[in-house]
Structure 1
Amino acid sequence: MTWLPTGLRARLVITFTVVAVTASAMVAGLGYQLVRKELIERAVRGSVADVRDKLSKITLPVGASDVVWPSDTTVTDEDLAGLVDALNGPARTVIVTYGDHRRTSPGGRFTMSDVPDQLRWQAARRLVYQRVRLRDEPWLIVATQIQRVSQSGTLRTTGLSAYVFVSLGDEEAVLFRFRNALGQAGGITLTIALTVALLSARRVLLPVRRLGAAARALGAGDLHIRLPVRGKDELAELTATFNETAAALEDTVSELRTLESMSRRFVADVSHELRTPLTAMTAVTDMLSEDAEELSEDAGEAVRIVVREIDRLRVLVEHLIEVSRFDSGAAVLRLESVDVGDTLADSLEVRGWADQVKLIVPVGLAFFLDPRRFDVIVANLVGNALHHGSLPVVVTVRLARGGLEVTVRDHGPGIPEQALPHVFDRFFKAGPGRARSVGSGLGLAIAKANAELHQGAITVRRCEPGTLFTLWIPRQ
């Protein structure tokens, strides 16, 4: 798996550094090759010119014949030694051959076996040279057959061959120092490139970071945040666009908050205004329900329908008032130590559910909570189980996970799997069969809000059979 940098800063620094190093390497490489070529060629030209010059000044031995041939015995070892001395010099090795005779400069490091065969063959016709590496050192071999002008003015070969080994060690040392200098310059260039890259990346990314911080603050609800616009580049345009977007978002959110506040106030006002007529209507329907049996069948059914719908409307109004308290932030906790078992028993008995619900709670279990809101939570969960599930309904209480855990389970068909994520949504009713039920669709939402007011939570899951609601309240 190839590692790739994900941060923009890292990518900018790496890109800038790679470009700088690549450019430096190319310039250094080209410069080194040019210097190397010129230095070597100058050394070669100088060595070849020196050999030519020395050859032109040599007085060749002349025997009885017009031209000295390899078979001529007038050429002695002293003559060959004189030629060697004439061609010799510092850091050189000279080999002169004449037929079977060979003469090497004193302290010579090389023999004829070190001369390439092709160079020997070419030297028989003209002066040639070749760069070779011998004993891990660079050398230049200049080879030629010595010629002279005869008495008739004709250029004749003499049978003498000279091989001059010229050391290129000084040039190689110069190139070595030059490479080191280029390496040091490359290191300095890399350091400068990294420094400039870091400074440039910081300068480029600073506005981006400010934009990121401002965007996070905007997402957290700080709609007043704005950034100063500096310059006229793309980042300045992006900053200006962010400011315009933030201003438009602030206006939209402000408008939505105003509308939401008006909506909540309207719901609260309507709910409160409905309480008085509902109270009167409830009193009247109570009287009518007592006489419903004495009325005709149609009139009695109409009275029962009115009583049921008024009761449903009363529950809805009460729930709307409770929801409006949560929305306005007026809901507060009034904590006190209560006996959980007694509180649950009283809640079930008041609603006439004591005979329908099995209660499992440790004796004498005390816990700090708001008894009124705890009663609302339990009543909604148990009422939901009784109205939409099947008996038996079991309420179990225990201390778990550092808090109080209350589970409510029924043994009915259970809530459909696709409806589980939405059971705590306002006005949500699972399935068409519950659309006209007595419930308002707000009970579970109110229970969840009361649990969260205790810093707790409610969860739900399917069982086989039935549904299990779990309420957890932490220790206060």
Structure 2
Amino acid sequence: MRTCLPGSGRRTPRLRPRGLRARLVVAFVLVTVLGAAAAAWSSAGSASTALVTSTQQRITEGLAGRLGAITPQLTYPPDQDALDRLRTAAGANAVVTYRDLRSADGTGTDLVPDGLRAAVRSRNRLVAQRIEAGGRPWLVVGTPIMITAPDGARTPSGIEVYSVQDLADVEQQVDGLARSAVVTAAVALPLAVLLALLAAGSVLRPVRELRDTARRLAGGDLDARSPPRGADELADLTGTVNEMAESVQTSMVAMDRMQAEARRFAADVSHELRTPLSTLTAVVEVLATTADGMEADARESAQLAIVETHRLVRLVEDLMEVARLDAGTAQLRAEEVDVTGAVRDSLGARGWLDRVDLVAPGGIRLRLDRRRLDVVVANLVGNALRHGEPPVRLAVSGSREEVRIEVTDHGPGLPENVLPHVFDRFYKADAARTRTPGSGLGLAIALENARLHGGDLTAGNADGGGARFVLSLPRNREDL
């Protein structure tokens, strides 16, 4: 048996209409049905009140008329025969009293409340009161018999007449009016649902069209537009969205054109620089072999020229690589590679094996472009050696899904404001460090090479301090 602690059970989901269409339909139906019910109920209430009032008026006027026709024939003080005549004129369920004399007929004569008797005696006029007895409604009417003198003065004779009338038929009519109100509200429900669906459809159709247009724009279809219909607020919104899409399309076209021109310019410049740089490199190499025999100033200038020439060659090569990546012409020459051996060869070719702690088990094989892996490793390790502090650690690990290459150092790490821009082209965390051996494109090229393999390259800080770069390469890619 499972015991549930208070508050630990699953929350009962609230039944709440989702979507604008459902909310519009529910709101429209509720307003319509409630309005119809309120109107029907109000009409039924008014009709019920009018029915009860008219019935009460008819009964009281009838009683007063019948008594008024017989009272002139009576003698005062009255005897039992006079009381019987008054009771007969009053009708069924009536009682007539005069001091100790009493004439009654019917089963409801004992329903006359004492308050009504007191009101008749104190007011000296006809009084009516509705009561409930035995589960049925009754109307009790009481009136005194007045003596009119020749001069018109009216004095009470002491005779009191009370009539009790059953209002069950009237109550049935009132109940019928209430049922009619309920039926009216029920009949209004399907009509309200139909009208709500039609109204919601007409209102939401432009909204759906705007949604589809927005999705097409988000998907890259800058030609997507929604035709405005009518002259309401939705038509204004549609026009505004179309204007926005036109502006975005114009801006994107202009931006694409500028980016294409910039890429073409960089590629053309890099290509044109290759020939003169090849010649300049050959001259520099000759200069390097004779630098030792030069004067100190000349030797320093020669060495500076050699360094800057090599830096320029590296920059041009990186620019050409970036141009190929941007143009989508960079190709992978994939082969089955021993990842540990490839990493070790990359470090050994640059003389870094004694400067890097390599943690790489054997037997990790992956299909990839060996040259591009060398570019990524060289950029990550070179960046750690230049900007971090020893020891620099490179760890290779593999799982069924991917192979990971992690490079960490023990330097100050990457500041929070630098992390979002680590892979930006030509970005320098320290603006004062304008002359560095690199081109400022190494990490950007490394990221693009990782993506060419379907992987990723992330930057962050290690738990113990220092920068941490992780290259993730997926296994079992069929397109490599």
TM over 0.5: yes
1:392 aligns with 2:391: yes
Cα 1:68–1:320 change in 2 (3 A) is same
The alpha carbon displacement at 1:111 in A equals 4.1
Paired-residue identity, %: 41
Unaligned runs of 5+ in 2: 1-13
The alpha carbon displacement at 1:373 in A equals 1.4
Where does residue 9 of structure 1 map in the other structure?
Answer: 21
Q: Residue 101 of structure 1 aligns to which amino acid in structure 2? A: L
Deviates more, 1:223-232 or 1:301-310: 223-232
> In 1, are the aligned partners of 2:84 and 2:103 still within 8 Å (CA)?
yes
Deviates more, 1:18-27 or 1:192-201: 18-27
Helix, strand or coil at the partner of 1:185: helix
1:31 aligns with 2:27: no
Q: 2:91 aligns with which of 57, 73, 88?
A: 88
Where does residue 470 of structure 1 map in the other structure?
Answer: 470
The alpha carbon displacement at 1:132 in A equals 3.1
Aligned pairs for 1:74-223 within 5 A: 75-76=79-80, 80-89=83-92, 93-108=93-108, 110-113=110-113, 116-122=116-122, 125-147=124-146, 157-223=156-222
The alpha carbon displacement at 1:156 in A equals 6.4
Q: Residue 466 of structure 2 aligns to which amino acid in structure 1? A: G
> What TM-score comes out, normalization by structure 1 length?
0.88
Helix, strand or coil at the partner of 1:222: coil
Where does residue 58 of structure 1 map in the other structure?
Answer: 70
Where does residue 231 of structure 2 map in the other structure?
Answer: 232
Where does residue 328 of structure 1 map in the other structure?
Answer: 327
Number of aligned residues: 462
1: CA distance, partners of 2:445 / 2:424:
10
The alpha carbon displacement at 1:151 in A equals 10
Cα 1:118–1:445 change in 2 (3 A) is farther
Aligned pairs for 1:215-294 within 5 A: 215-294=214-293
The alpha carbon displacement at 1:19 in A equals 4.0
2: CA distance, partners of 1:152 / 1:398:
127
Deviation by residue 1:334-375 (Cα, 9 ceiling, x = unmatched): 322111121111111222222222222112221222212111
RMSD of aligned C-alpha atoms?
2.8
Helix, strand or coil at the partner of 1:110: helix
2: CA distance, partners of 1:139 / 1:220:
77
1:364 aligns with 2:376: no
Deviation by residue 1:102-159 (Cα, 9 ceiling, x = unmatched): 3332333634446535433246x22232333334433222111234678999866543
Helix, strand or coil at the partner of 2:457: strand
Where does residue 312 of structure 2 map in the other structure?
Answer: 313
1: CA distance, partners of 2:137 / 2:307:
113
Q: Residue 176 of structure 1 aligns to which amino acid in structure 2? A: D
Deviates more, 1:429-438 or 1:152-161: 152-161
Deviation by residue 1:247-273 (Cα, 9 ceiling, x = unmatched): 333233222212211111111111111
Q: Residue 95 of structure 2 aligns to which amino acid in structure 1? A: I
Deviation by residue 1:353-407 (Cα, 9 ceiling, x = unmatched): 2222222211222122221211111111111111222222221111147210111
2: CA distance, partners of 1:154 / 1:193:
65
The alpha carbon displacement at 1:310 in A equals 0.9
> In 1, are the aligned partners of 2:41 and 2:178 still within 8 Å (CA)?
no
> What TM-score comes out, normalization by structure 2 length?
0.88
2: CA distance, partners of 1:153 / 1:326:
121
> In 2, are the aligned partners of 1:9 and 1:201 still within 8 Å (CA)?
yes
2: CA distance, partners of 1:414 / 1:113:
98
The alpha carbon displacement at 1:36 in A equals 2.3
Helix, strand or coil at the partner of 2:275: helix
Cα 1:59–1:298 change in 2 (3 A) is closer
1: CA distance, partners of 2:156 / 2:388:
126
> In 2, are the aligned partners of 1:147 and 1:157 still within 8 Å (CA)?
yes
